[in-house]
Amino acid sequence: MARITFVGAGDEKTTVEASTGASVMLAAVQNGIRGIEGECGGSMTCVTCHVYVADDDTPRMPKMAAEEDELLDYTTSARLPQSRLSCQLVVTDDLDGLTVSVPQENT
Ligand code: FES
C-alpha cells in the first residue's frame, strides 16, 4: 500500500491509497482522478494515462522501457523530462508519498 497524490486542475491535490502491485493509472481510475482515463487498461496503446512525476520523486521511479519511451512521443499533452505513462508505474511500498501531476490540458 502506498499513498499517491495527484495534482489536477488548479493545483488541486487528491491523495489516494494505492494497492501494492496495482498501477498508478489503476489507482487514479478507481478514485476518479480527472484526466487519467486508462482507456487501454494498461496495454500501452492509448497514452491516456500520461502524468508528470514530481521532481523530488523522479530518482525513485522504475527505469523506463523502450516501448513506453516511444509512446510518450504520442501524448496529446507536452512531453517533459518528468513524463511517464502511469500504467507502467507499479505501486510498491517504496512509492509511498509519490506525487504526480495530471497534464493541465487533460483535466
Ligand atoms: S493506460 Fe493506455 S497507455 Fe497507459
Residue-wise pLDDT tens for the chain (107 aa)?
A: 999 999 999 999 999 999 999 999 999 999 999 999 999 999 999 999 999 999 999 999 999 999 999 999 999 999 999 999 999 999 999 999 999 999 998 88
CA of 98 to the centre of ligand 1 (A): 19
CB 78 within 8 A of CB 103: yes
Pocket lining: 25 vs ligand 1, CB cutoff 6 Å: yes
Q: What is the SS3 assignment for 74? A: helix
Q: What is the SS3 assignment for 14? A: strand
**Is the pTM higher than 0.75?**
yes
CA of 59 to the centre of ligand 1 (A): 22
